[in-house]
Chain A
Amino acid sequence: MFPRLHFAVCFTAVLGPTLVHTLCPDTADGYKVRLSIKTALGDDAYKWDESEMFLFRATLAFAMRKYNQKPYEVSDVLVCNETQRVSFWFVVTDPENTSELISGKDVERAVRISRNRINNAFLLTDETLEFLNIPPTLAVPAESGTPPWLIVFGVVIGVVGVGIIALLISSFIQKRRKKGVTEGEEEDCEEEACDKGNGVSHPVEEGADGVNRGFVGDIPFTKL
């Protein structure tokens, strides 16, 4: 049932010379095309019918013309093995000699040059309109000289470096100023009997009545 349907489709799809059986699909010079219209367009998907196929063949003829300026016609693009998927094989014949096929490499180059136009004719993208074995052409990404992150890094490390130097200098200057004052303070400490418990020096806390507050903490525990 299925193979016969294929055969019938091939017949009706190709309007042209009866060389279709021998030339298509020629796997050396032919390419398989696969469309995923519903995936691309969802609810706006159009139905794939003969007019769409005609458009495809016309677009491909356009791409070939753009490539080597020969007067390609719609009839030079032969299509076969169409399936429900939608997928099919196509080959391109030479307009001057319809029994000769254009080589696969030329077809590939032509498709790659006009890929964007072909995609747009069908409102599809590189992923949804696949030419198997023809890689998509991508725009060359813009390359900047210095990676931007190094610039940000440079700014941050510059600010931090300046900060460190400024702080070290300012604390050094402050210490120098303090030295004059602290020499007087250290003498005071010796007069008042600094509490040097546990290796940490606290000046003794004195209240207005001259009581040594250093022992206040133990008051609750001193029992008579």
Chain B
Amino acid sequence: MPFLSRTCERPKWDNKIQYLLTCIGFAVGLGNVWRFPYLCQIYGGGAFLIPYLIALVFEGLPLLYLELAIGQRLRMGSIGVWNSISPYLGGVGMASMVVSFLVGMFYNTILAWVLWYFFHSFQNPLPWRSCPVFNLTGKSVEECELSSPVNYFWYRETLNITPNIETSGSLQWWLVICLATAWCIVYVCFIRGIETIGKAAYITATFPYLVLTIFLVRALTLPGAMTGLKYLFTPQWEILKNPRVWLDAATQIFFSLSLAFGGLIAFSKVNCLIQDAIIVGCINSATSIYASIPIFAILGFKANSNYEDCLNNNILSLTNAFNMGDQNITIENYETWLTYLNTSDPTKVANLHLKVCDLQTFLDQSASGTGLAFIVFTEAVIKMPGSQVWSVLFFIMLFTLGLSSMFGNLEGVLTPLLDLKLVPTCIPKEIFTGFMCLVYFIFSFIFALGSGNYWLEIFNSYVGSVPLLVIAFFEITAVSYVYGINRFSDDIEWMTGRRPNIFWQANWRVISPLMLLVVLLAYVVIQAMQELTYSAWNPNYVDFPMYEVLPYPGWVCAICVLLSTVPCILIPLVALYRFVHFLKKRVERLRAPSFYENEGYVSDM
């Protein structure tokens, strides 16, 4: 019967594996491998997992189920869906579109970085294996000596980063051409259509797991890996008091499941994933945690080797100053020797200016921020035999993961624009898409400046956080209280044959909106009182290679606030606009009532 095609039928047995692979391919993206470990590391590892899992269960899964169901039921793009629930909520769709646009700008910059590393993987030896050396003097660059070749390659040769955000530096031409390549590839794949890419998704769905497992095995065999893993899994309970952790946990769930971006609703128009929403959500989170295990193992290894280098430097200074036998002082007996020498000749020891070597500081400091995945995996790659092959494989994997997310992003911007009829129909879709990619490309020049990485972190923290939560809050309240939970449950029963149980009902009605509201309010209140800071890479800093913590200047703070509020402002603005329109119509009708006007057909627009 034709009308049954609207319900979500489970596929037959032989298609089951293909179907599951499509779900998995959809669930895993760059957010799992790049963003989750970087957030995890900022919040000191283990402590982040608790708010993350809580956010998954009480905010992520309910919202995922909701978006999939509403998209499948109403069969419209993100703007149409909210308009049809209530005209006053049309702003939610527009806010999603603006957020998709802003995220797309910086997201493709990450792909440009991936391409840059990919291009450099075809050299022997890999350029991040050792420090570049000046020809005649035989000395290597000081910045590289003090940090590490891998860090130097990332901060200096890739980003050419400036010491602070005020210094913009110049446009790095190599990043511009990588950005151009990335946008061209996105454009080609987008106009070709997702259908042909869909077949390749069966390989691209399992490929990341294979590569991650290989890296996991290698990482666990490195010395110091266990230190890193302990760091990941031991919670620091004090972190939980900071509302920023809860905010970032919720936004990570939203980011990685592509919730509140509008793309999911459009996706659900065509594909029916409602029954497997839970599986998709859980696979996504499990993959994030699985991807962070090798990253933290390698972080542990890096911290451990930095710590040993620090100690060895101190030992060398002591051995040379006191002319003692070589290897008399070792890492094991360093402490005893230090105390002995300090008591016998404290001035000589003081003159050596020995560094304090603390493993915990190295764990916190060895790599962090948006470059974490790049630094850590390139470090791992140089320790493997056949480094070039692993490097190429890894960066292809990252690129394909990011590419599929970029499609969702572009869809999230293009479809609403087409729905809003802002595109003149004479322009063919390909030309318009090309024009959009060009606009995106020009805007992303910001991230190709010397201070580009600092701007990317701002975009990542302020666009990919508060607006998503606000949109999510309005989505849940719109469906629960404007559309009606009972009506929604009936829809789901009709589509899947089962009514959603008490867990979903409780979440949609009370728990999720309440949690979102509490987290948002707590965050706004506490952030308003604090100074906003960031970590800068400054070779002239006294404690280099530690990051220098600087406050954001006033104008940058203003931009941060703007980025967070502009998407959210659209919601009340559109409601206001509709209300004014409604009032105008009311006034007109009162002035000149027409007997021939049939009010039964007043359009909802």
Contacts and interface: CB of A to CB of B under 8 A. Distances in A.
B320 A85 contact: yes
A161 B133 CA distance: 37
B347 interface: no
Contacts of A175: 428
Contacts of B119: 149-150, 152-153, 156
B323 interface: yes
Nearest to B120: A149
B188 A160 contact: yes
Interface in A140-195: 140-141, 148-153, 156-157, 160-161, 163-164, 167-168, 171, 175
A120 B430 CA distance: 67
A111 B326 CA distance: 23
Interface string A73-112: 0000000000111110000000000000000000000000
Contact of B184 (A38, A87, A164): A164
A85 B326 contact: yes
Contacts of A141: 133, 135
A37 B326 CA distance: 7
B598 interface: no
B419 interface: yes
Given A152-B122, A199-B419, A205-B2, A164 B135 contact: no
B181 A156 contact: yes
A84 B326 CA distance: 8
Interface stretch (A12-20, A23-31, A51-59, A130-138): A130-138
Nearest to A83: B323
Interface string B508-534: 000000000000000000000000000
Contact of A85 (B83, B135, B188, B324): B324
Given A148-B123, A160-B185, A163-B188, A216 B327 contact: no
B487 to A, nearest CB: 8
9 tightest CB-CB pairs across the interface, nearest first?
A38-B327, A149-B119, A83-B323, A138-B138, A216-B3, A85-B323, A152-B119, A38-B326, A36-B326
A176 to B, nearest CB: 11
A137 B137 CA distance: 8
Contacts of B1: 207
A131 B184 CA distance: 55
29 contacts: A35-B326, A38-B325, A85-B319, A85-B320, A137-B138, A138-B133, A141-B135, A148-B120, A148-B122, A149-B119, A149-B122, A151-B122, A153-B181, A156-B181, A157-B177, A157-B180, A160-B185, A161-B184, A167-B191, A168-B430, A171-B191, A198-B76, A198-B80, A198-B84, A200-B76, A216-B3, A216-B6, A220-B490, A220-B494
Contacts of B323: 83-85, 87
B410 to A, nearest CB: 15
A85 B180 CA distance: 58
B1 to A, nearest CB: 8
Among B118, B177, B323, the most chain A Cβ lie within 10 Å of the Cβ of B323
Contacts of A117: none
Interface in B158-195: 177-178, 180-181, 184-185, 187-188, 191-192
Contacts of B122: 148-149, 151-152
Given A85-B325, A164-B184, 17 more contacts: A34-B320, A36-B327, A38-B326, A84-B323, A86-B325, A148-B120, A152-B118, A153-B181, A156-B115, A156-B119, A157-B180, A160-B181, A167-B188, A167-B191, A171-B191, A200-B80, A216-B6
B2 A135 contact: no
B121 to A, nearest CB: 8
Contacts of A148: 120, 122-123
A198 B323 CA distance: 87
B490 A84 contact: no
A18 B570 CA distance: 94
A39 B325 CA distance: 11
A39 B191 contact: no
B421 interface: yes
Contacts of B83: 198
Interface in B377-409: none
B134 to A, nearest CB: 9
A213 interface: yes
A135 B326 contact: no
A137 B325 CA distance: 27
A3 interface: no
A71 B192 CA distance: 80
